[in-house]
Each structure stands twice: as C-alpha cells, then as structure tokens.
Amino acid sequence: MLFEKRLQHMKRYREIALASSKSGFGYIVEELGLDEVLSLPKRLLLRRDEEHIEKTRGERIRLFLEEMGPTFVKIGQVASTRPDLVPEDIINELSKLQNHVPPFSYEKAEEAIEEALGAEVGDIFETFEETPIGSASIGQVHRAKLITGEAVAVKVQRPNIEKTVRNDLEILHQLAMLAESRMQWARQYQLVDMIEEFSRAIAEELDYTIEGRNVEKIGKQFDTDPTVHIPKVYWDVTTKNILVMEFIDGIQISDLDALDAKGYSRERLAERLTHAIFHQILIEGFFHGDPHPGNITILEGETIGFLDFGMVGKMTKEMKANFGSLLIAMMRKDADGVVRAITRMGVVPDEVDMKALKKDAELLRDKYYDVPLGRMNLGEAVQDIFGIANTHRIKLPTDFTMLGKTILTLESIVRQLDPEFSIVDVAEPFGQQLLKERFDPRNIADQAWHQWLDLSDDFKDTSSNLHEFSKGLKDKKVPVEIQLRRSEQFMKRIDGIGNRLTFSIVLLSFSIIMAGLIMSSALSGRSTILFNFPAIEIGSIVAVIMFVGMLYSIFRSGRF
C-alpha cells in the first residue's frame, strides 16, 4: 500500500515537473532537484510551448494550475483572496481561474447518492434531473423534487475527489518544504505556512455538512428581514458528500436586462445587497466569502437570495475593532492611524522598516486626500492597504483578506447596478455602531479586565523565568545572547508602559485613600474639612481628572 502510494506520488511529481517546464518554470524544477530525482532530460526542462512565450508570469501560472486539475485550481482560487501574500499581477490572473469542468455521469451521481443515503434515488426524490445545472471542480448540482414535494438543489461530490485532493495537498506540502530548504524567496514568503493555510480552506469545502452549517448560521442573521432570503437545508438527506438545499429560482443579479424587464429598481437592489453584506461583516461577524454575481439571485419582491456557502469569513470582536480603526483612519486621512491599524491586524516581521511603512501609508493618504467620502472606492482602498502589507511582508489573517475581496466584489456588482451608488454611505452607520460598541464602558471594562488577567499571567511567568535565570547564574550555566532591533523605539515603548503602570498605581493608591476618607466620614458622621479645604470633594475632582487623563493617553495611543 505504501509502495503504491509512493508510486502514485512519483507519477504526480513527474506530471507537475513537465507542466511546470511547459509553462516556463523549468528552472524551479532544477532548483528543487526534481530533475535528478525523476531522471528528467535537460531538453524537457528547457522546453517551453510557443503559446506561453509571450504570456506574463501570471498567465503562465494560471494556465499551469488549470492544467494540473481541481486541487491546483482551488489552491489558485484561495490564493487569489490573499493580496497580502501574492503579488497583484498574479492575483489578477488567479481571479480568472475557471471552476467549470465537465460533469461526471448521472450513473456516478446516482451511485454516490444511494451509497451516502442508504436508499434508492426514487425513494428519496419524486423527480431528479439527470443533467446537472452546474458543475465545478469539487462537485455538481442537480435539480430535484423531494418525495414530500419541495423543490431542491442537490450538490453531489465528485467520486474519489477527496482522495485526489488530499494526495495533491500532501505533494504540495512536500514541495513547499523542499522549496523553503533550497530557495530564499520560498522562505521569505513562508511557503509552507501558505500551503497549510490554503489546504485547510480546501479541506473544509470537501465536507458539505460544514457548508450546511454555514447556510443555517447566515440564515439566522436574516430571520426577521424579508429583503434577504437564505435557502433551507434538508438535514435528513444531507451528508458529508451530499448537500440538499431549497431550490431558489430567481434572476442572476448581473442579468440587468431581465431585472429591468421585471421593473426592479437597481438602486434599491444595490442598497439591499450592500446592507446585507455589511450586516454580515460588521454586525454578525460571519459573512459570505464569495458573493460573485453567480452566487446572488433576485427573487420576487426584489429580495436578495444568496447561494453557495462553501467559503465564509469570520470576524472576532478584536478583528472588527481593528477593521473599524482602519476605516476611521482612512476617512480621517490619518497615516499614523493606518500604520497602527495594519500592524495590529497582522503579524509584523522583526525586520520591517517602520519608516518605509509609514511613507507608504502617507502615499496612500495622499491618493485619497481630496476624494469625498461618498466617492471613495472602498474596495480599492482596502486592496491598496493589503498591497502595503504584502510589500512589507506583514501577514494578515485570512478572514481580513477575504473581507477585502468581498468588499471589492460587492463594489463591482453595485457599480454595474447603479454607477452613482456609494457603498460607503451604507457602511457609515455600521461604522458608527462599531465605534459605539468600541467605546461602550462595559466593553472597555471587559477589555481592561482581560488585559489585567493577561498582565498577571505575564508577571507570574516573568517571576518564574527570573528565578530560573538567577539559579542559572549561580551555577554559571546561562549562555545569554541578546539582539535588539530598533532599540530606541523599544526603550521608548518600555518607558511608556512603565510610566503608565506608575500612574495607575498612584491613581489606585489615591483612590484607596479617598475611599478611606469617605468611609470614615460616613461611620463617624463628622465632616472631612482639612485645613479649611473640603478634602473629599477636591480629592474626587483630582481623581476624575487623573482617570480621564489616563484614558485619554490610552485612547490616543490606539493600543487598547
């Protein structure tokens, strides 16, 4: 069994090497040493098809992925959502990757359904259309009607696709490890981490029950909103590789002629779609990650219907707050605020040049300086920010980049519906609500409490580490090597933290004294006039001023 798997892998390695050479990437095969392992002649590695000679590197990568099949196409599609990791010219080509592949036979679909559900197709469905209405790399969709009479869409996974995908992902992981061991650019781009991240996203799409739960979760967001419709999932006939959902029969949102023929208002559709997307992102924190025109349909009454929930994004409270900070900084043309937001959103490498990062943020500010808020292209602005992150090797969470692509796609659809419509106008109330939540005293208190708990844990760890360190010094067994980058900036930050801790301790001590005076006055029934001064009143005013000053310094720093 192991030998057979290794043989399959070697065969696949050879296919990848030959396709790479054909697309003009034979030099990578050589650098990886695959030419020697696979005994490939030099002429094959140097071969390059004439049709590829005049093409850009982005086009050649896209054609290579399409030739290599479903797993590689999916990898490319996921990579197209990561402008913080992948250069723009390649992103533009990856976004053109076609997910449409020839359908598999009805007989295979029937066999897959009966094996998964343990019953014949005729016992489950009253009617079942043999020709699929859509076919993609992972599966295909058939229209049917349940025995109980409901019209449904049945998504059937391709036979053996999971095995094929997992084998390919395993090979890609091995190639990424080999690349990092031999090539500087692969280490710089953290290729192994990138492949692992993409693999997790693809693995989720192989389990249709995950998509079913995504549908239900987004459906609950719009339970009371009649302008948005999310299809129902029929769980009694849904498994890991079969998904049965309510069939939605509407007009594709990009079919403008059909929408006009129905007398639908394009402006109202643009507003409803934008509101639905921003509600998912900024209020619920769980959103449709691929709202392209094929996944949005218009139903009777100008109702927005969403389809295909295999790709979703998630936004935690912290992520929403960071994104809100980014939007606010952009709207205020605040370059420092943009830098702070970007560095809080992602993993910043030690060697990042903060001066260059700020300069790029200032250039971005200048680009949008005279643009009125209502005319700002929000999707493009977010993509520009992700471009800065890519330039400075700042790795952002997947959900942030998915958010950027979602907004970009939304703007593209809205621009077709109504060129004068601004999604920023719809987004503004959501941003205001985010601000209210952010500065809500209860949320601030909750954040302060958790930060205090984290700080307590850090102090405990520090105490333990210092104890171990001192023991090592006594035994003379502590080799120490310290390397500080940007030491001046580091020391300033340490000074700031120390000053703020000192101030907090003074404020706490003062508050304890004031509390003692108040309790003493209450128990004794005597006045607290000291040297002709009302001590409690004046002390309370001083405490309030100190507290407000501390809050101001925290908010001004943007680190809370």
Q: Please provide the distance, in angstroms rounded to a whole number, between the alpha carbons at the two ends of the chain.
A: 55
Tokens of 281: 């992102």
CA–CA distance, 359 with 510 (Å, rounded to integer): 43
Q: Dihedral sign, CA of 196, 185, 21, 91? A: positive
Distance (Å, rounded) from C-alpha 418 to C-alpha 253? 12
Cα(71)–Cα(76) distance, rounded to whole angstroms? 9
- Give the separation between CA 68 and CA 26, rounded to whole angstroms: 15
Q: CB neighbours of 22 closer than 8 A, spacing ≥ 6?
A: 47, 48, 49, 52, 64, 67
Residues whose CB is less than 8 angstroms from the CB of residue 444 and which lie 6 or more positions away in sequence, other chains included: 560
Question: CB within 8 A of 222, min separation 6: which ones?
Answer: 228, 229, 230, 276
CA 176 remoteness from chain centre: 22
Give CA separation, 178 vs 153, 168, 195, 411, in Å. 43, 15, 13, 40
Residue 290 designated active-site: yes
How many whole angstroms separate alpha carbon 126 and alpha carbon 128?
7
In sequence order, what DSSP letters do the residues of 496-535 get, joined into one string? Answer: HHHHHHHHHHHHHHHHHHHHHHHHHHHHH----EETTEEH
By the 10 Å C-beta count (0-12 exposed, 13-18 middle, 19+ buried), 44 is classed as middle
The active-site residue, picked from 84, 168, 290, 360, is 290
> Dihedral angle at the C-alpha atoms of 113, 237, 306, 134, nearest 10 degrees?
10
Residue 35 contacts residue 24 (beta carbons within 8 Å): no
Name 306's bridge partners. Answer: 296
Residue type, 251: I
DSSP code of 231? P
> Up-side HSE of residue 382: CA atoms within 13 Å toward CB?
27
Among candidate residues 389, 412, 329, the one with its CA nearest the CA of residue 82: 389
Pair of tokens at residue 371 = 């643009």
Contacts of 37 (CB under 8 A, 6+ apart): 13
Phi and psi dihedrals of 169, rounded to 5? -65, -35
By three-state DSSP, how is residue 216 classified?
helix
Active site residues: 290
